């Protein structure tokens, strides 16, 4: 995720984020202050990652996110916003955001969460992940759809991911290698037909898969 675009309509805040990222070794290849500028810059030279504010003039960040996911699905988008509203969080994740960060994070935590993208993790604090889980906790089953069949181990891994655990922590918990965790995650994403861990957890919560995985994990831990 070395090539980054910073999209925020407040130039002073944008300058601060750019300086922080560059000092941490990221290559900031573009900046944008409006939705139109975002889409034009991506059309010319797509970055690896867009840090996107939700409140943008002319086109909201959510609208820009949907356009990015539609036209440039390879570009990851992490929301960076002041809004801790659950509706904004849900809308962003459902639109395909790879993560959701609040602007009141300290710089070190911000960089650590952002670097998790390289490991296939979703940049999101445990508090935010908990809020997301609460909103999705009531399964919304669609009897017309056949749920994907995950193995017991995949359900264990997915259950731990839903609790915000990183690959290394999951590997230690299950006494397997980190590469094995990554292998299971790859299979989970393929079976659920999702792009990242956040979407996988969202899908699992909506369809009751996480409840099964939590039970499997507890059973494994007690054995």
pLDDT digits (tens, 9 = 90+) for 126-185: 888 888 877 666 455 454 455 667 888 888 898 888 887 889 999 999 999 988 999 899
End-of-domain residue from the set 124, 148, 179: 124
- What pLDDT shows up at residue 148? 67
CATH number at residue 208: 1.10.10.10
Residues 120 and 188 occupy one common structural domain? no
CA gap 143, 218 in Å, rounded? 28
Confidence check: pLDDT of 220 > 50: no
End-of-domain residue from the set 124, 151, 178: 124
CA gap 68, 78 in Å, rounded? 12
Domain assignment present for residue 211? The answer is: yes
71 and 44 in contact (C-beta within 8 Å)? no
Q: Which residues contact 136 (CB under 8 A, 6 or more apart)?
A: 90, 201, 202, 205, 206
Tokens, residue 127: 């508090």
155 - beta bridge partners?
Answer: none
- Cβ-based neighbour number of residue 149 at 10 Å: 7
Query: Mean pLDDT, to the nearest integer, of 91-112?
Result: 92
Domain assignment present for residue 130? The answer is: no
End-of-domain residue from the set 64, 97, 124: 124
Residues 113 and 207 occupy one common structural domain? no
Model-wide pTM > 0.95: no
Residues 28 and 107 occupy one common structural domain? yes
- What pLDDT shows up at residue 3? 93
| Choice between 163 and 37, residue whose per-residue pLDDT is larger | 37
Residues 160 and 83 occupy one common structural domain? no
Residues 90 and 143 occupy one common structural domain? no
Domain assignment present for residue 202? The answer is: yes
Residues 143 and 168 occupy one common structural domain? yes
Domain assignment present for residue 41? The answer is: yes
Domain assignment present for residue 42? The answer is: yes
Residues 93 and 29 occupy one common structural domain? yes
| Lowest pLDDT segment from 20-29, 75-84, 104-113, 144-153 | 144-153
Domain assignment present for residue 132? The answer is: no
Residues 185 and 164 occupy one common structural domain? yes
CATH number at residue 15: 3.40.50.2300
Domain assignment present for residue 176? The answer is: yes
Residues 108 and 201 occupy one common structural domain? no
Residues 109 and 157 occupy one common structural domain? no
Number of separate domains in the chain: 2
What digits encode the pLDDT tens for the residues 188-206?
A: 988 888 888 888 888 777 7
Full residue range of the structural domain in which residue 58 is found = 3-124
Tokens, residue 147: 């749920």
| Averaged pLDDT score across all residues of the chain | 84
Confidence check: pLDDT of 214 > 70: no
Residues 34 and 70 occupy one common structural domain? yes
Residues 10 and 115 occupy one common structural domain? yes
- Cβ-based neighbour number of residue 184 at 10 Å: 23
Confidence check: pLDDT of 223 > 80: no
Confidence check: pLDDT of 117 > 80: yes
Tally helices (H) and strands (E) across the chain.
11, 5
Q: What percent of the chain has pLDDT over 70?
A: 87
């Amino acid at each position: 995720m070395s090539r980054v675009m910073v999209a925020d309509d407040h130039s002073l805040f944008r300058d601060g984020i750019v300086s922080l990222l560059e000092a941490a070794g990221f290559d900031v290849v573009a900046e944008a202050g409006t939705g139109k500028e975002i889409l034009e810059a991506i059309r010319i030279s797509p970055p690896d990652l867009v840090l996107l504010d939700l409140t943008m003039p002319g086109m909201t960040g959510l609208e820009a996110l949907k356009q990015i996911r539609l036209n440039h699905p390879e570009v990851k988008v992490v929301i960076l916003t002041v809004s801790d509203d659950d509706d904004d969080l849900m809308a962003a994740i459902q639109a395909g955001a790879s993560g959701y960060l609040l602007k009141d994070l300290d710089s070190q935590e911000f960089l650590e969460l952002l670097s998790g993208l390289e490991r296939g993790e979703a940049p999101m604090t445990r508090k935010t992940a908990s809020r997301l889980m609460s909103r999705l906790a009531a399964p919304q089953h669609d009897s017309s759809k056949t749920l994907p069949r995950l193995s017991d181990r995949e359900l264990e891994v997915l259950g731990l991911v839903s609790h915000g655990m990183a690959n290394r922590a999951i590997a230690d918990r299950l006494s397997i290698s980190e590469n094995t965790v990554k292998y299971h995650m790859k299979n989970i994403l393929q079976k659920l037909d999702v792009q990242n861990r956040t979407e996988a957890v969202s899908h699992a919560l909506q369809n009751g898969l996480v409840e099964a995985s939590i039970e499997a994990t507890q059973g494994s831990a007690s054995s």
